[in-house]
Chains A and B, each alone.
Chain A
């Protein structure tokens, strides 16, 4: 889930390169190349997909940082931030595949 408020207040303002590419973020979450754990957040996962964005970011990974919490009887993930980057971050432990 990418809460609209978070998208508007953070992604659109801090990462304008992704702001118009919600579909790329969704694709990264639905069909990642790699999922890794965040070395800080035990309740988070980071999703990476190469080439999710169009040029000039097409030769980079799109990283999507998600944190999970339990709401009622469901585990719900929320997008915290996202940006294009050139590698899987060091010290992030691969969880999938």
Chain B
């Protein structure tokens, strides 16, 4: 008997017009247990699928996509400390503005490679621009 391949949904993600999104509503959150940085465009997590981006041999960059409208409602960067910031050192600054879950900042600093502990003095807008540029 032939095993049928599942009919997996594919996406054509639609990015929002960021000129219309109040930057102060964008929320960054870092979750230590899953080592994931979340970016919510509208201030809170919305129900969505996690759509991986093809960026090399590992999946660590995901768009959060509404499966009905295909609108991108956020981003999800997995393996953030263990992998992502080594590839993209500019992301280190995101931890300075993110809400941090399940770890205090002192412990978090201990997990960051020594060469990255002093972050650039990026503005929040610059950090968000870097994240969007990475995933767009």
CA distance A84 to B66 in the complex (A): 11
Say yes or no: A40-B68 contact (C-beta < 8 A), given A15-B45, A85-B49: no
Q: Do B8 and A90 have beta carbons less than 8 Å apart?
A: no
Q: For B10, B47, B79, which residue has the most chain A Cβ atoms within 10 angstroms?
A: B47
Q: Which residues of A contact B83 (CB under 8 A)?
A: 40
CA distance A9 to B31 in the complex (A): 10
Judged by a CB distance under 8 angstroms, whether A87 is at the interface is yes
Q: Which residues of A contact B51 (CB under 8 A)?
A: 85-86
Interface members, chain B 71-103 (any A CB < 8 Å): 76, 79, 82-83, 101-102
CA distance A84 to B7 in the complex (A): 14
Chain A interface (Cβ within 8 Å of chain B)? 6, 9-10, 13-17, 39-40, 50-51, 56-57, 59-61, 63, 65, 67, 80-81, 83-87, 89-92
Number of A-B contacts (CB under 8 A): 83
Say whether chain A's binding surface is mostly helix, strand, loop, or mixed: mixed
CA distance A61 to B41 in the complex (A): 24
Partner of A60 from the list B9, B35, B62 (CB cut-off 8 Å) is: B9
Binds A, one of B16-24, B52-60, B111-119, B120-128: B52-60
Q: Do A59 and B33 have beta carbons less than 8 Å apart?
A: no
Q: Which 3 A-B pairs have the closest CB atoms?
A: A17-B47, A59-B9, A89-B59
- Closest CB of chain A to B64's CB: distance in Å? 9
